Every structure is written in structure tokens, then in C-alpha cells.
């Protein structure tokens, strides 16, 4: 036999559950509204992270640096399976290529904040770790962000002050 206390608790839990369901529904509606021609699907991004690319350049460093144990990098060009329309520098642009920048080293720690790869003072985006936690890769569609001689750095979250830089700079002209 339920007491009033248990009935009251049950109503509270039901109300909390209902509010969570409503919040989730509203969140999904906004997410679907935001997805337009200027976004890339999660499915395509997952394919690009694993796709074989054409290596443009690779660093040659072999010694780990910083607490994050950064070693080197690899820059690859990826050919998209289809043309995608994106907003780049506030302009709608059709792209058929992407670039994957991979930082090597580790094993990298798994943290609450995502790993962010930077070129100079510009965050390219949140990185994706490989299974062994020895590589973190980020995809960009904006070739202009990949500057010759740019400093490659890694942070967790977008805090500039906590970045660790690779001992070598980015080469975009070849190995």
C-alpha cells in the first residue's frame, strides 16, 4: 500500500520525466531546423575521419613534447564523395575537397572537454581520437586556415592558455 509520501514522490518523478521528454523533443526540433545546406552530416564527417587521403605533408619529429606527449603531424587532402555547399568566411561555397590534420603522440588522455587542434591562434575544430589514443584528427573544408609555417597546437577545450604546441610547423607545400 502506497503512502502519500510515495505517491507525491511518484508524481514528482513523472513530472521530471515528462519535462525531460519535452526538452529532448524541443532540442531535436531546433537541431533539425539548424541543419541546412551549410552543415555537413555526421555520417559524412565519420566517413572523412576514416577515409584514405592523399598525404600532403608529414612532420619528422620523433621526440614527445609537453605533458600531452605530442610528437608530430600529418596533413591529408580528401576528395569528397559528392559536392557539399557550406558557409566559409560568411560565403556559401561548393566544396569537393576537405583536409584532415592529424596530431600524433600520446597516448592522449580522454577528458570531459574535447581535444581541439589549432593553427596559430585559430581553432580548426574538435578532434577525434583513434582507437589507440595515439592520433587526434580534425577535418576542415577551409584551405585558407592551413597556413605554411603555422604553429600546430592541441588543447582540451578552446582555452588558448592551455595549448601545447608541436615542435615543428605546418608545411602545406609538400613533404
Whether residue 150 has pLDDT greater than 50: yes
Q: How many CA atoms lie within 13 A of 20 on its CB side?
A: 6
pLDDT, position 54 = 95
For residues 9 and 166, the model is more confident at 166
What phi, psi does 94 have (nearest 5°)?
-90, 130
Residue 80 CA to residue 67 CA, distance in Å, equals 35
Average of per-residue pLDDT across 80-105: 88
What phi, psi does 117 have (nearest 5°)?
-100, 135
Whether residue 151 has pLDDT greater than 70: yes
* Cβ atoms of residues 159 and 145 within 8 Å: no
Query: Worst-scoring range by mean pLDDT, 16-30, 53-67, 155-169?
Result: 16-30
pLDDT, position 72 = 98
* Cβ atoms of residues 128 and 110 within 8 Å: no
Would you give the DSSP letter of residue 157? S
Average of per-residue pLDDT across 100-125: 95
Residue 51 CA to residue 45 CA, distance in Å, equals 10
Encode pLDDT of 38-47 as tens digits.
467 788 888 8
Asked if omega into 144 is within 30° of 0 (cis), the reply is no
Q: What number of H helices and E strands is found in the chain?
A: 2, 9
Backbone dihedral region for residue 106 (phi beyond 0: left; psi -120 to 50: alpha; all else: beta): left
pLDDT, position 6 = 55
Q: Is the pTM of this model over 0.85?
A: no
Amino acid at each position: 500500500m502506497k503512502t502519500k509520501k510515495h505517491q507525491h514522490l511518484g508524481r514528482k518523478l513523472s513530472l521530471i520525466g515528462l519535462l525531460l521528454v519535452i526538452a529532448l523533443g524541443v532540442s531535436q526540433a531546433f537541431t533539425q531546423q539548424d541543419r541546412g545546406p551549410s552543415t555537413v552530416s555526421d555520417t559524412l564527417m565519420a566517413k572523412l575521419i576514416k577515409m584514405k587521403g592523399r598525404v600532403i605533408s608529414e612532420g619528422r619529429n620523433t621526440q614527445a613534447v609537453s605533458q600531452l606527449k605530442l610528437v608530430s603531424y600529418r596533413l591529408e587532402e580528401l576528395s569528397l564523395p559528392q559536392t557539399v555547399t557550406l558557409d566559409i568566411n560568411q560565403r556559401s561555397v561548393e566544396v569537393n575537397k576537405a583536409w584532415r590534420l592529424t596530431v600524433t603522440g600520446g597516448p592522449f588522455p580522454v577528458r570531459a572537454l574535447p581535444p581541439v587542434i589549432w593553427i596559430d591562434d585559430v581553432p580548426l575544430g574538435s578532434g577525434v581520437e583513434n582507437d589507440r589514443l595515439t592520433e587526434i584528427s580534425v577535418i576542415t573544408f577551409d584551405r585558407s586556415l592551413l597556413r605554411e609555417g603555422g604553429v600546430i597546437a592541441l588543447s582540451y577545450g578552446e582555452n588558448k592558455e592551455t595549448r601545447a604546441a608541436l615542435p615543428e610547423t605546418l608545411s602545406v607545400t609538400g613533404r
